[in-house]
Structure 1
Amino acid sequence: MKEEVIHELRDGDSATVEVARAVAAAEDTPLEDLPPLYETIEADALDALIERGEDIMVRFVYEGFDVLVTPTEVRLGAR
């Protein structure tokens, strides 16, 4: 990955599913080949936080990416 990847979240989207989709797309790998996201972050808590807040950001590392999730987008940056 050469530059930051931004994946838009729309109303009703699950943040955890969109993180997995964004990483799979950036890595050009099938979703099922990625390790479960719950091994990195509590998926239900991530979804609940993102669904509730307008001014919230959650940052963590997954599959070598610096992941930033807001209510409107998932950003993947190189580590």
Structure 2
Amino acid sequence: MTPEQPEEQLLVEYEISDNEHVSRAATQAVSSLKECEPWELTPLYETIDPEMLDELCESQQNGVVKFVYSDFHITVEQGKFLLLQPADAAPLLHPP
């Protein structure tokens, strides 16, 4: 980490596979970072409608979707990448 990137500014990129829904990818990525099983997290539907998220990301291939889930800022870019950052950190506009 550099002084401009303190530990609390940690940004993790997760690539969504071709056959994976964005909603599942978000749950998998967060559970991996929290070192727990996906079912141990608060259900995604308590934050955002998973079906709506999947449909929005599929239809907006060039867009960006942002939400907070289970203590992480999550940014979906082009329906193919998740950027995750701890919610207690100031969100970064672009990855370093």
TM-score by length of 2: 0.76
Which aligned segments of 4 or more residues in structure 1 are displaced greater than 3 angstroms?
none
Aligned length in residues? 79
Aligned-CA RMSD value: 1.4
Per the alignment, residue 78 of structure 1 pairs with 86
Q: Which has the higher contact order (CA 8 A, sep 6+)?
A: 1
Amino acid at match of 1:59: K
Of the two, which has the highest radius of gyration?
2
Choose the corresponding residue for 2:46, options 15, 39, 42.
Answer: 39
Amino acid at match of 1:43: P
Per the alignment, residue 90 of structure 2 pairs with none
TM-score by length of 1: 0.90
Check if 1:57 corresponds to 2:64.
yes
Give unpaired runs (5+ residues) of structure 2: 1-7, 88-96
SS at 1:16's partner residue?
helix
Give unpaired runs (5+ residues) of structure 1: none
Identity of aligned residues (%): 29
CA–CA distance in structure 2, aligned partners of residues 32 and 2 of structure 1: 26
CA offsets per residue over residues 16-38 of structure 1, 9 Å max, x none? 00000000000001111011100
8 Å contact kept, 1:49–1:56: no
